[in-house]
Amino acid sequence: MSQAVTLIADSVRERVRRDGVDLSVDKALAHDYVRDEVQRYSERALGGSLPLLVDEAATLRQVVATLTGFGPLQPFLDDPEVEEIWINGPALVFVARAGRPELTSLTLSDSEVRDLVERMLQSSGRRVDLSSPFVDASLPDGSRLHVVIPDITQKHWAVNIRKFTRRIGSLHELVELGSLTRQAAEFLRMSVLAGSNIIVSGATQSGKTTMLNALLSSARPSERIVTVEETFELDFGALDRVAMQCRQPSLEGTGEITLRRLIKESLRMRPDRLVVGEVREAESLDLLIALNSGLPGMSSIHANSARDALSKLSTLPLLAGRNIDSAFVVPTVADCIDLVVHCELERSGRRRVVEIVAPSGNVTGTVIEASAIFALSRAHSSRGELEATGGYPTRVHKFTAAGFDPASVLGVSA
């Protein structure tokens, strides 16, 4: 931070203490206070006592960001093209635009990084220290913050901010972006309305959360939707919605709320649809038990393909304890999961759906039988386009009960 910005920011802070106001809740007042102090600084600089400001407007923005936002990172947070920000060290600040990483020219000090993290955590009530060297939290705008500190990291604090965006809120918007075909979007919309249980799979940054949001936007307005997440990320337009997130243990090691606990509690809240942001461990068992009771649901999972997602979902519940075995889990996954939507992040930065698979409900050995409803076809492009395979969902009772006929979209006979 430049000397001028530091001096002006200190002057504003002194005035704030004197006047007893809170600039964090009144951005217009913050702008007025900073503008006054910038003018005073410029007048003193003209007298030769201070260095002249090269750009008063830029200085004003930087001071406002320092006082009310997240300092040097605020311009990246305000930039709609920036999707993610991460700090590997004070001089290694990266951003991602359209899925492509780039090293910025921003240089911070270790103390500035720590101060920024502490400011980001203030609204979440979470902490990071030697006893709890990891933290996962939501920023006020919904962006996701993840921090790891030494001695878990080698030398510097590792900070990652996955920005929240409302740009994509429906399957139609994904079609417009080229992430999904119109035919596939209509099939997914029909599946959501029919109450299908859907798993969204893919690698990190492949668009899993965006796809979940888009799918949920197709649900009936009358549905009561309960979402459970490690930290809040899902955001969709639903009037009757309850969103819950996990809680870290206190300094005494008490008060922790896990994803497993939230799933169990959600079943007492009369949900019409349960959504688990992501399953990574034993909470997958609780999700399967909920879906096995007839409750429609969705979740995401890290996997290399749709079929890998089914295999992983058949393995993760075994982490719940020795009394859980694959003889129960595999048939339950085969019977509960209706669709797997697999997303990928291309080298060009484009995110798109590359596969939609429907389990048949049958198991051969330990392998869940599934047919591809949509897959990439390279007949018209070397890059491949998502096309209907001619496959058809084996289980159509949910569609029939809801008054839908998948054949009307897929163009095939049952």
Here the CATH number for the domain that contains residue 292 is: 3.40.50.300
**Claim to verify: residue 53 and residue 155 sit in the same structural domain:** no
In degrees rounded to 5, what are phi and psi of residue 214?
Answer: -65, -40
**Claim to verify: residue 400 and residue 330 sit in the same structural domain:** yes
Does position 87 have pLDDT exceeding 90, yes or no? yes
Preceding peptide of 136 cis, ω within 30°: no
Q: Which pLDDT does position 378 carry in this prediction?
A: 63
Q: If you ran DSSP here, which 8-state letter would residue 275 be given?
A: E
Q: How many structural domains compose the chain? A: 3
**Claim to verify: residue 245 and residue 105 sit in the same structural domain:** no
Nearest CA-CA partner of 162 in 176, 174, 147:
147
**Mean pLDDT taken over the chain:** 89
Does position 9 have pLDDT exceeding 90, yes or no? no
What spatial distance separates the first Cα and last Cα of the chain, rounded to whole Å?
66
pLDDT band at 99 (very low <50, low <70, confident <90, very high): confident
Q: What angle in degrees, to the nearest 10, is found between the helix axes of 283-292 and 326-336?
A: 50
**Claim to verify: residue 11 and residue 98 sit in the same structural domain:** no
Helical (H) or strand (E) element with 410: helix 407-410
Among 67, 89, 114, identify where a domain stops: 67
Does position 382 have pLDDT exceeding 60, yes or no? no
> Which domain does 146 fall in, by range?
69-165
Alpha helices in 296-375 (DSSP H): 306-315, 326-336
Does position 381 have pLDDT exceeding 90, yes or no? no
Q: Work out whether the CA dihedral 38, 41, 43, 46 comes out positive or negative.
A: negative
pLDDT band at 251 (very low <50, low <70, confident <90, very high): confident
Nearest CA-CA partner of 107 in 143, 156, 68:
156
pLDDT band at 1 (very low <50, low <70, confident <90, very high): very low
**Claim to verify: residue 85 and residue 151 sit in the same structural domain:** yes
Of 231-235, 283-287, 370-374, least confident by mean pLDDT is 231-235
Nearest CA-CA partner of 342 in 370, 317, 361:
370
Here the CATH number for the domain that contains residue 105 is: 3.30.450.370
Does position 406 have pLDDT exceeding 70, yes or no? yes
Q: Which pLDDT does position 389 carry in this prediction?
A: 93
Q: Which pLDDT does position 127 carry in this prediction?
A: 83
Q: Which pLDDT does position 192 carry in this prediction?
A: 97
Transcribe 212-253 into DSSP letters: HHHHHTTS-TT--EEEEESS-------SSEEEEE-B---TTS
Does position 316 have pLDDT exceeding 60, yes or no? yes
Q: How far apart are CA 411 and CA 414, in angstroms?
A: 10
Q: Is residue 343 within 8 Å of 206, Cβ to Cβ?
A: yes
**Claim to verify: residue 202 and residue 237 sit in the same structural domain:** yes
Q: What's the pTM?
A: 0.79
pLDDT tens-place string over residues 213-224 = 999 999 999 999
Does position 281 have pLDDT exceeding 50, yes or no? yes
Among 33, 67, 101, identify where a domain stops: 67
Does position 289 have pLDDT exceeding 70, yes or no? yes
pLDDT tens-place string over residues 162-173 = 987 656 779 999
Q: How far apart are CA 262 and CA 267, in angstroms?
A: 9
